[in-house]
Amino acid sequence: MHVAITGSSGLIGSNLVAALEEAGHRVSRVVRPQTSGTDGALTWDPAGGEIEGGGFEGVDAVVNLAGRSIGERRWTTEEKQRIRDSRVPSTRLLAGALAGLDRPPSVFVSASAIGFYGDRGDTILTEDAAPGTGFFPEVCREWEDATAPAVAAGIRTATIRSGIVLSAAGGALERLLAPFGPSWISPYRWGLGGWVGNGRQWWSWIALEDEIRAILHVLEGGLSGPVNLTAPDPVTNKTFMRAVGKALRRPVMLPIPEFVFKTVLGSELAEATLFDSQRVMPAELLEDGFEFHHTDVTATLQKAIGS
């Protein structure tokens, strides 16, 4: 199988490339024209609305993982526009290019996030749940809607709503462990960490290995539409942070007040990434026969960050 991938240098993208190549598939990275060291890659310029459309002729599958990190900077008006612009127009550009091919790919897998659901309390959320309200749920909805040209062209299209991906190599977990800057001042590594606010909000997570395996399952199977990429055992924030403490062999005994995170990160970013409650279940994957290798958050965290 020949697979083209945008966002191939990120945590998920780089691991997906490695997994595909190890399985004997051919991978073409989709990069910006100025990117160095990527001979033979396909090029696009999402900001300029340009894409090497003809290079996708005959490609079997396309995976779109491009998108600016949502958790590294305060959500100013300008930053929120950059977050949206890194997802919606680029996905629309790519989907449109694929729809216009004489030999389009058989499958288009495009990233999304469980942020689609917003703050939903204790409600169990499967793929048929309505979108939430607020900035990031709206971005996720537009992001998914931007795949419409591919859908209209008859390309099997899946939008993968990923949860918190657990990996020692970076991503959301790295940011969580060091919310105030460098890892050496992480309160959790010094035994000063706690759960976030009241700790009752639901966090839906997935091991990096299962994230990659699930994407491969979607590529090789028949799923289309939204697909939740989360382990089938979401946990409360208090349970999650106590599992972090066990992995680090450090105590987690007291809450960290909401105002601390809102002061450091900004209120809107802290709400969306730390305090929104999303109890997500991977109904489509489970119904399709996918078997998770990691379903216990404590064991998964111990493997990812255990000292």
The residue that leads in pLDDT, 68 or 181, is: 68
- How many distinct structural domains can be found in the chain? 1
CATH of the domain at 121: 3.40.50.720
d(CA 93, CA 128): 26
pLDDT digits (tens, 9 = 90+) for 270-285: 999 999 999 999 999 9
Is the CB of residue 2 less than 8 Å from the CB of residue 59? yes
Average pLDDT, the chain: 91
Both structure tokens of 175: 């940011």
Q: Amino acid letter at 197?
A: G
Q: Amino acid letter at 61?
A: A
pLDDT digits (tens, 9 = 90+) for 89-131: 999 999 999 999 999 999 999 999 999 999 999 999 999 999 9
Give yes or no for residue 182 having a pLDDT over 60: no
d(CA 234, CA 230): 8
d(CA 85, CA 6): 15
Is the CB of residue 162 less than 8 Å from the CB of residue 171? no
Q: Which residue has the tokens 């399985």?
A: 23
pLDDT digits (tens, 9 = 90+) for 204-214: 999 999 999 99
The residue that leads in pLDDT, 307 or 268, is: 268
**Which pLDDT score is estimated for 181?**
56
Encode burial over 85-101: b for 16+ CB neighbours within 10 A, e otherwise.
ebbbebbbbbbbbbbeb
Q: Residue 3 CB: number of other CB atoms within 10 A?
A: 22
SS (H, E, C) the chain: CEEEEECCCCHHHHHHHHHHHHCCCEEEEEECCCCCCCCCCEEEEHHHCEECHHHHCCCCEEEECCCCCCCCCCCCHHHHHHHHHCCHHHHHHHHHHHHCCCCCCCEEEEEEEHHHHCCCCCCEECCCCCCCCCHHHHHHHHHHHCCHHHHHCCCEEEEEEECEEECCCCCHHHHHHCCCCCHHHCCCCCCCCCCECCCCCEECEEEHHHHHHHHHHHHHCCCCEEEEECCCCCEEHHHHHHHHHHHHCCCCCCCECHHHHHHHHCHHHHHHHHHCCCEECCHHHHHCCCCCCCCCHHHHHHHHHCC
**Which pLDDT score is estimated for 191?**
67
**Which pLDDT score is estimated for 265?**
86
Q: Residue 191 CB: number of other CB atoms within 10 A?
A: 13
280 pairs with which residues across the strands?
Answer: 125
Please give the model's pTM, rounded to 2 decimal places.
Answer: 0.93
**Which pLDDT score is estimated for 193?**
74
Q: 54: which residues sit within 8 A by CB, 6+ positions away?
A: none
Provide the residue range defining the domain that includes 47. 2-305
pLDDT digits (tens, 9 = 90+) for 218-265: 999 999 999 999 999 999 999 999 999 898 888 888 888 899 889 988
Give Cα separations from 177 to 91, 233, 263 (angstroms).
31, 21, 17
